[in-house]
Amino acid sequence: MKFKNHLFWIAALVSLLLDRLTKSWVVQNLTLNEPWALLPGIFHLTYVTNPGAAFSLFREGGGWLRWLSLIVSLGLMALALLGPHFIRWEQIGYGLILGGALGNGIDRFISGYVVDFLEFRLIQFPVFNLADTFINVGIVCLLIGSFQKMPASDRSNK
């Protein structure tokens, strides 16, 4: 079997490593719930724990999220190994989603919660982490890839 979808694996590994490194730095250097203003009133690093999903959804009883992270991660790896050769945007998108799912999944299995620390106060956005960012950027990459795969005749009619 020929190894394929190289960018998928690179994107997954890089995003997972960046997520783990930043969370480790936050846990070692910041105090829980104490903000560190980088741009006062706009952007802070605030170490919080989140037992729920993105944006603190399912805060109560979110234990099933660890299993969802595992299933999504295994499914994406199987897709990359056994599925077709993806175009560049799909490889990057699926890889970023895998890295984010693994990063948050590791937190959930080890600690029972996810470490969040990026806080945009200007728009009062919920605190999040790099794994959440990678998952969302991955979705955007998949959307871009879906437009690239669309036949030129369909693109001109839409």
Distances in Å between the alpha carbon of 64 and those of 37, 74, 157?
A: 34, 16, 43
In the 3-class helix/strand/coil scheme, how is 8-31 assigned residue by residue? HHHHHHHHHHHHHHHHHHHHHHCC
Task: Give the pLDDT score at 81.
Answer: 93
Give residue 131's pLDDT: 96
Q: Could you tell me the mean pLDDT of each successive run of 10 residues in the chain, 158 residues long?
A: 87 98 98 95 94 57 74 94 94 97 93 94 91 96 87 49
Q: Give residue 47's pLDDT.
A: 97
pLDDT of 158: 46
| 132 belongs to the catalytic site | yes
Selecting among 19, 107, 132, 154, the annotated active-site residue is 132
Catalytic residue among 19, 107, 116, 154: 116
